[in-house]
Amino acid sequence: MFQEDKQTELKPIYKRILLKLSGEALMGNSKKLGIDPQTVDQISREISEIYNMGVQIGIIVGGGNIFRGLSASARGMDRVTADYMGMLATVLNALALQDYLERYQIPTRVMTAIKMEELAEPFIRRRAISHLDNNNVVIFGAGTGNPYFTTDTAAALRAIEIEADAIFKGTQVDGVYDKDPQIYDDAVKFDELTYMQVVEKRLKVMDTTAVTLCMENNLPILVFKLKVAGNLKKIISGEKIGTKVIGE
């Protein structure tokens, strides 16, 4: 049973979502590599609020706060090895997020694309859907299990596989801009975009493979600022926050 939400009468318009978190989102404001407990606790509290609204939640978390395979490859490391190391970093983050979610009495399952059964379940699509139907939050670790694919692509793939209504991408800024708003004061924010506009304008929403997967399966992408209390609950309830990427 879901806990009663006494703080708000907001109703979710999405039944099942895939929440995409970057590894950097777990670092906190200090920007030091690693996992900031206070930040993970804040994110877990936000997730618990929408869970208590009855939303079924899958989560993909990156590993950039611990290790970035592409960056290591650029510095001379073998790309395949570096990518596998990055996948392992995502599992560390998934386990940390699981620990904090369970402190809010949220039942969770970690499923990984690379078998490590002492720590997590191997990803099996039907089992993942069963967990969601049984009101467990499912955290997907190790990306797609293949090198050369980002966690953006993993998010799109898992969202399609679990038949999510949308991908929610939590970022450091309040939507998608034509250029970095943290650098340029004249950056223009988009309230709504099509998949093709994202590709043609080369906007940094998700990588091209991920956007193409979403376009082919008509899966909306909602980009919002993660570290604003209540934002996730509001956007789940249909408030126009951030940027929405949809079809024509």
Domain range summary for the chain, segments of one domain joined by + = 16-246
Q: CATH number of the domain at 16-246, please?
A: 3.40.1160.10
For residue 221, with 0-12 CB atoms within 10 Å meaning exposed, 13-18 middle and 19 or more buried, which class applies? buried
Residues of the chain with pLDDT under 70: 1-9, 30-31, 69-70, 72, 74
Contact 61, 90 (CB under 8 A): yes
Name the CA radius of gyration of the chain, rounded.
17
pLDDT per position as a tens digit, 193-228: 999 999 999 998 899 999 999 999 999 999 999 888
| Residue 75: other Cβ atoms inside 10 A | 7
